[in-house]
A and B are shown apart, each in its own frame.
Chain A
């Protein structure tokens, strides 16, 4: 049924209209509402992260600044959302008004911290993923294409890295190297590359002996050329999928490290640390929003990148059927 519809689709205006594999994938994606919702959420999240300085001037509460008015004088709890805003949103900008409440017992502004936390998450997610995918491509493709001892060495290296306990190693290393943004990015990339690396290796291994590679060699193409020009286009699918999935993983890993209090220096805001701020003294029991706001954002963000990755996988998989 799907095949028939696709066939009709090919004949527009009497002529044959070629649909590239990527266009087919885009078309499938357009009908995947979950993936589309994820894209929308991610777009809004990027806007939210970019608006950090706007929120600072709107609320009058700069980043990482303690505000005495953010803490209730009697209970000593951070103030809740809209507490101390007598005229609702119209009173934002007065020093007592916190739109989403305060984010910790020092009276940081929740909205501002969340926005800059989103920026941290996205930067770490994207940069760590770039490193991950580049390393995975280099090692995976070389292992799969060259084979032999090179392959064995790289594959065993992947096994070794996969066997490392991430948190234990990351915590120990962060004590040794001291907290920094780059440290977090590199440690996350170091513990993520092997997974997409295995996938790319497998793909190349399967493609390497296909007849069109022999045909390209028959025409006099060199190995470098075969890899870059003939095989890489076939990897666009897995690269896209694992980029998305890897961003989700990196964001979750950063949050986990920050929750434990390792990795990022204190001046860089982080959702993970905001969640951990709610723990001491059982603050979250009386002020649950301390956990709910950053926790929900974190879950939704990781979920969005994961669902987008799944949607991309379905869209790019030629065996998935067109479902149009």
Chain B
């Protein structure tokens, strides 16, 4: 039995392939819809790409030449069809402005790991803080700890990142001067493009904390972690709040179940019952929330990156919209949509595995 067969055997009984294929096919209309909306908005919005490229000093003739070459004089339906065809191949052409002369693909390849890294750390902070807080809150229901946790969670959900981010910068960077104001690493530390494994040169991941570890550069790693702390915290607060609230309500529901009472009646200790029977079952809806939350974190990255000046996908979208760099806007928005739908797919598959009724 080769490895593909083993893999198939491993996966096949867990989630029926038909279910996964069906969900994958459902991605097509979603992405088609997003692509169409993005195309429509950009073509309805004011702004002439020719001026973006040639600048204020360009003559009317030069602008017209550029419009012709970009195909902007073709009928709209023709432009739309060619856009869809290119989008299907994930080819959005070249950036007009923010990365002039480079393909949108390379822009995305540069930026995506930055955003993913931020979202992963934000998610990690959310899980590490949210789950214990939720459990404590549920176990000590209606106590002072519970009230404080719940108020904290509500506040965390309610306070927008564009407010909490600058406040944290003001406190930790301006007044206390313990964290840097922006960026991902100290401005004087530069990393090479590749790292070496067993004498082979390999490309870096683009995630700076991972790369500094791969390169074995402790100083750079500490600097990267130091720079990442505040932005990850800002994203993590929202995530923590949501996870802890979900964990609390799920836990409260579970500990009232008959099987918990039975376990206790059999003489099992409260802590063991809680962790062995209660916690595991209470985790099912939380896993779903964590998955969906990861998609939301990507959205949160737009604000966080803007506030902290981190050059990920979020800041790129904002900048590209600001300078009418349409190919970059199209590429990044569709990538976000693709990521979001893929994360949801993974959540669905996981959930369907945990609760087979969902496959019906």
A and B assemble together? no
Chain A residues proximal to chain B, CB less than 8 Å: none
Chain B residues proximal to chain A, CB less than 8 Å: none
